[in-house]
Chains A and B, each alone.
Chain A
Amino acid sequence: MEELFSIATKAIFIENILLANFLGMCSFLACSKKIETAVGLGFAVMFVLVVTTPVNWIITEFMLKDGALAWLGMPTIDLSFLQLICYIAIIAAMVQLVEMILDKFSPTLYNALGIFLPLIAVNCAILGTSLFMNTKGYGFVESTVFGLTSGIGWLLAIVGMAAIRTKLQYSSLPPGLRGLGITMIITGLMAIGFMSFIGINI
């Protein structure tokens, strides 16, 4: 339990997937204009992360790792060079699946999120989380918690950014800096803030 808590705090604050590792930047910048869309996208990313991280763990453990095919009687095979393509295929399939399920059962939510869903497939935060899960050697439960809390961290960052950008509408900026330009600079400042968390041991 204690360890899971430590993984969670790390993933949300100290090693925030977006602000400390800079993954999932594109959709973060493109969709943080309004709080509502930011929250919607944040939850979509979180959901996909919760599903894909454990699934990728299973795939790695029982198919890709060196000797993982032992249960099929083929212990000499090492498929780890297929890791990346398998992960990305799982992610794309999951995103497509989520899209179809939402379309069928909750059209309102689908309409709210619909346009962001295909973009999630290429959100490197998702792939990054799976890769990190692999290097850190987590087990199944840890991977699930890691996926969930990485998602929460991402959600937190994008909602925070959206809040800042809403306030920013009232400030007078040079026209060329409005929008993306100032967002970049603010992200830089936010990242400097989060970098001070790095190195804390829990």
Chain B
Amino acid sequence: MSAKKGAGYTYAFAMGLCLVCSIGLSLAYTVLKPMQADNVRLDIVQNLFSAVGYTPDQIAELKPAEVLSKFESDFEVKVLDKDNNEADTAFMKKELLGLGYTEEALAKENAASMMNLFNRKVKLLARKADKKLEEYDPGYKALYVYQPGGTIEAYVVPIQGNGLWDIIKGYIALELDLNTVKGISFYEHAETPGLGARITEDWFKQNYVGKHILGNAGELVSITIAKGKVADSVPESKHDHWVDGISGATLTTKGINQFLYADLQKYEPYFKTLRN
């Protein structure tokens, strides 16, 4: 190592290094961000299609621009509040403007993306309005209605919750009876490759297809991932609500079981009205 230098040198060196690193990283971040954002958006849309039953091959055939335009024509996004009324976008906008967002920045957002922004900031907004979170939070949630060619074929519910390392996000598509699962997909996760990350593999997602989220009495049961094979560990009568697990990914699957139930429960009152 080099000869002894004063404390001033150490400080100067540390400052210099910080400056160089942060400038370099910010540059890279700014340059690469648009490409990353495109990738993320494309991935989300592809997963929506995957949830409603498109096979990986069918999705791979479509060009990125085609997928995005197909999304615009095939899906309708509904934003609901906790009483299942249409969400009030003007209210969201007013609150976000109050937080310091500019009119310009919000002009680009549609109802769904504005809702995402609002939900991310909801704790802060509640504090600002001097109300308890439970009182303040309008409980906005999105529901994707899949209607290719005008007739409704499926309802897609966004699901998310904690996995082992970080949040897992995904979609579950339900048939028109709002009971039978049409498909499931997971798009954002940070699970261990080869273990928890296998939730994105086709065989695992296929397990969900055709299962039912409601019990015999019409109550919400959701679908649970078994430890190991369903055939070995679950009584025959319950097979309708269980799917095969992934060995070595107990904590990931436990997380999914929890948030799938919790998220379906949020939509259940609304689904009840739709079923009748």
Q: Does A touch B (CB under 8 Å) in the complex? A: yes
Tell me the A residues contacting B by CB distance below 8 Å.
Answer: 15, 66-67, 70, 74-76, 78, 81, 85, 131-132, 135-137, 198-199
Q: A76-B100, A135-B167 are in contact. List 16 more A-B contacts (CB 8 A).
A: A15-B251, A66-B120, A66-B121, A67-B120, A70-B124, A74-B100, A75-B99, A75-B121, A76-B101, A78-B120, A81-B29, A85-B25, A135-B162, A135-B164, A136-B162, A199-B250
For B82, list chain A residues within 8 Å (CB).
Answer: none
Q: Is the interface of A mostly helix, strand, loop or mixed?
A: loop
For B124, list chain A residues within 8 Å (CB).
Answer: 67, 70, 75
For B163, list chain A residues within 8 Å (CB).
Answer: 135
A67 touches B250 (CB 8 A): no
Max count, chain B CB within 10 A of own CB: residue among A76, A131, A132, A136: A76
Q: Provide a sorted-by-A list of 25 A–B residue pairs whose CB atoms are within 8 angstroms.
A: A67-B120, A67-B121, A67-B123, A67-B124, A70-B124, A70-B127, A74-B100, A75-B99, A75-B100, A75-B121, A75-B124, A75-B128, A76-B99, A76-B100, A76-B101, A131-B165, A131-B166, A135-B163, A135-B165, A136-B162, A137-B162, A198-B251, A199-B227, A199-B250, A199-B254
Task: Determine how close the nearest CB of chain A comes to the CB of B96; give it in whole angstroms.
Answer: 9
For A78, list chain B residues within 8 Å (CB).
Answer: 120
Task: Determine how close the nearest CB of chain B comes to the CB of A18; give it in whole angstroms.
Answer: 15
CA A7 – CA B165 in complex, angstroms? Answer: 17
For A81, list chain B residues within 8 Å (CB).
Answer: 29
CA A131 – CA B29 in complex, angstroms? Answer: 22
CA A15 – CA B250 in complex, angstroms? Answer: 11
For A67, list chain B residues within 8 Å (CB).
Answer: 120-121, 123-124
Task: Determine how close the nearest CB of chain B comes to the CB of A134; give it in whole angstroms.
Answer: 8
CA A71 – CA B111 in complex, angstroms? Answer: 28
Closest A residue by C-beta to B227: A199
Chain B residues 114 to 129 lying within 8 A of chain A, measured CB to CB, are 120-121, 123-124, 127-128
Task: Determine how close the nearest CB of chain B comes to the CB of A14; give it in whole angstroms.
Answer: 10
Task: Determine how close the nearest CB of chain B comes to the CB of A168; give it in whole angstroms.
Answer: 27
CA A201 – CA B162 in complex, angstroms? Answer: 17
For B164, list chain A residues within 8 Å (CB).
Answer: 135
Task: Determine how close the nearest CB of chain B comes to the CB of A80; give it in whole angstroms.
Answer: 10
Task: Determine how close the nearest CB of chain A comes to the CB of B103; give it in whole angstroms.
Answer: 13
For B227, list chain A residues within 8 Å (CB).
Answer: 199
For B100, list chain A residues within 8 Å (CB).
Answer: 74-76
For B121, list chain A residues within 8 Å (CB).
Answer: 66-67, 75
CA A199 – CA B227 in complex, angstroms? Answer: 9
Closest B residue by C-beta to A68: B124
Closest A residue by C-beta to B122: A67
Query: Which 8 pairs show the lowest CB-CB distances between chains A and B?
Result: A67-B124, A76-B100, A198-B250, A75-B99, A199-B250, A66-B120, A135-B162, A75-B124
For A74, list chain B residues within 8 Å (CB).
Answer: 100
Chain B residues 178 to 198 lying within 8 A of chain A, measured CB to CB, are none
CA A79 – CA B163 in complex, angstroms? Answer: 22
Task: Determine how close the nearest CB of chain B comes to the CB of A190; give it in whole angstroms.
Answer: 16
Task: Determine how close the nearest CB of chain A comes to the CB of B132; give it in whole angstroms.
Answer: 17
CA A135 – CA B124 in complex, angstroms? Answer: 19
Interface mask (B240-269 → A, CB under 8 Å = 1, otherwise 0): 000000000011001000000000000000
Closest B residue by C-beta to A201: B254
Chain B residues 71 to 101 lying within 8 A of chain A, measured CB to CB, are 99-101
